[in-house]
Structure 1
């Protein structure tokens, strides 16, 4: 043991002194709440991949119709029910223009003397499915985002006012919520659509008429949790008005919960619109949405599966990506998940 100590460098037992100005220095850089949340969500690979997929789908929803050389609204009966065909794929065995006719696989483009390419094929009226798919995605996303925005605004205001003022105001407002919550959502939506003319406005109103209830209950619970905490009591003691307390103190503390709930509301609205259009209560032909395109493809699934395949893939990607991104945001914005 003594021999080992002799072999140590001469400075091994020198006294270490620390400058008092650096004694309590924080090595980790100071980050805001949103910077910290972004650093944590970057570690979630599923959320990042979902974000990329959503960005690509949104971009294609607006750019896609202009990429195709064919107008999605133009009907060419002689080009009806053509399978997908893409330049350069003819020798690869897929998307080569071959389809089943009379139990045999034949080149339908050659049979119908079609010398143009339809990347996603055509429907029963000869309309380009590539253009119609992205036009339908654009409409479905528009309905979902507008419905989610309205749900968020109404739910936050209603739940916040109910919880903050409490007492008789809270009792009356919550009885209204319980009455609406007890009515089946599908019944309310169907009645609203039957009263209004089928279209985008009718679907948005039908989705939002009861869709805000979930948001209001979540916001109410969060406001009840925070309104009696010390920072709110201090602001009230210093003479802050109710509006200032709500906007400057309560709302920033529940903003993460609002964003997370909205991210889960959007895929629900997309699916609900697709469901209504699929059963014939939503958009009506010739308008295109993911629901109407899936309805058209369902009727020809045995003969022209591509009409159903592509809108189903886009709808599935939207549902999965929004839910995975919502899970990632929930983990990133929840303070309990901090390292």
Structure 2
């Protein structure tokens, strides 16, 4: 009797029918590697903000020199050493054209009878610092991007050939790399400037002579890692040639690490160009770059800090933005990362 009371009545049971088509259907859309990486990157707020800031700086570098209609090379000694003055903001008590004259705070625009506005002020020769800042940013970015592109092309090709073919080829190529890596980059730059006229071309070539070594070693390590894996061996067994294995199997798998390393190479090139121009062996006056502008501001930092403030701020933002984007890409392109 006790067992009969514990039994459930038949009406309590329901037959569940399963549709095989519905059961095996994938509810979420399938994502490619790059789509999944983009979803990961979007979750990194610092990287997204840095991308927006970087795009704005690049746009300003392109259009900034044309916003106020002044040339960065035009000199006007009557307008020399004017502090920043921005319409509208001057009413807040900042960027109002007030500077020191004879130990007193005065409106230098009124003293010199200047009716124009210089948003970032002028230098000792009366040149507009707003225009020169964005012209200098343009030159610095140009040098950095070209140097990074050359580093990628040479580094990927050299490291890929060395790692893929191995053996004696790898030994000879790596001995060359060891010789080059032992030469200080600054020595190479000085020698290039002695041979060539100081300028953009000399700096790009000097940075590129040894800049690709780091990329080549990373690529070589990745090629050595992937070339012995099953998918490469299967492709070789099916009769694929060297070019197909490299372009279809190896390069797509190392593309992520190449992009990440490039994002760290660009700020290094920007800083190195600024360093060369700051110590006087880079771009020569009247050419403007972030390094030359910082050098000019350093000389008058005590009396006119605004000359140093703006280029130092731009180069700092560029360095931080590129590094944060590089960190975000490293996390997004790493397939071992978990959500």
TM-score (norm 1): 0.95
Query: Aligned partners of 1:336, 1:215: CA distance in 2, in Å?
Result: 22
Deviation by residue 1:230-262 (Cα, 9 ceiling, x = unmatched): 110111111111011001110000000000000
How many Å apart are 1:189 and its aligned residue? Answer: 1.9
Secondary structure at 1:106's aligned position in 2? strand
Distance 1:11-1:94 versus aligned 2 partners, 3 A rule: farther
Aligned to 1:213: 213
Aligned to 1:260: 260
Query: Aligned partners of 2:59, 2:109: CA distance in 1, in Å?
Result: 30
Aligned to 1:70: 70
Aligned to 1:96: 96
Secondary structure at 1:99's aligned position in 2? strand
Secondary structure at 1:91's aligned position in 2? helix
Aligned to 1:135: 135
Query: Aligned partners of 2:323, 2:270: CA distance in 1, in Å?
Result: 12
Deviation by residue 1:131-190 (Cα, 9 ceiling, x = unmatched): 000000000000000000000000000000000000000000000001111122222222
Aligned to 1:326: 326
Distance 1:18-1:112 versus aligned 2 partners, 3 A rule: same
Aligned to 1:85: 85
Distance 1:11-1:62 versus aligned 2 partners, 3 A rule: farther
Aligned to 1:271: 271
Deviation by residue 1:30-84 (Cα, 9 ceiling, x = unmatched): 0111111111100000000000000000000010011113221110000001000
Secondary structure at 2:120's aligned position in 1? coil
Q: How does 1:7-18 map to 2 (within 5 A)?
A: 13-18=13-18
Aligned to 1:231: 231
Secondary structure at 2:92's aligned position in 1? coil
Query: Aligned partners of 2:191, 2:165: CA distance in 1, in Å?
Result: 34
How many Å apart are 1:12 and its aligned residue? Answer: 7.5
How many Å apart are 1:329 and its aligned residue? Answer: 0.4
Unaligned runs of 5+ residues in structure 1 are 1-9
Query: Aligned partners of 1:50, 1:313: CA distance in 2, in Å?
Result: 15
Distance 1:172-1:11 versus aligned 2 partners, 3 A rule: farther
TM-score (norm 2): 0.95
Query: Aligned partners of 2:152, 2:12: CA distance in 1, in Å?
Result: 64
How many Å apart are 1:24 and its aligned residue? Answer: 2.3
Paired residues in the alignment total 330
Distance 1:171-1:124 versus aligned 2 partners, 3 A rule: same
Deviation by residue 1:280-330 (Cα, 9 ceiling, x = unmatched): 000000000000000000000011111100000100000000000000000
The reply on whether 1:307 has 2:307 as its aligned counterpart is yes
How many Å apart are 1:194 and its aligned residue? Answer: 2.3
Query: Aligned partners of 2:65, 2:272: CA distance in 1, in Å?
Result: 24
Secondary structure at 1:119's aligned position in 2? coil
Deviation by residue 1:174-222 (Cα, 9 ceiling, x = unmatched): 0000111112222222222222110000000010100000000000000
Secondary structure at 2:336's aligned position in 1? helix
Query: Aligned partners of 2:172, 2:53: CA distance in 1, in Å?
Result: 44
Aligned to 1:6: none
Aligned to 1:248: 248
Query: Aligned partners of 2:11, 2:162: CA distance in 1, in Å?
Result: 69
The reply on whether 1:23 has 2:15 as its aligned counterpart is no
Greater displacement, 266-275 / 190-199: 190-199
CA RMSD of aligned residues (A): 1.3
Distance 1:53-1:13 versus aligned 2 partners, 3 A rule: farther
Secondary structure at 1:30's aligned position in 2? coil
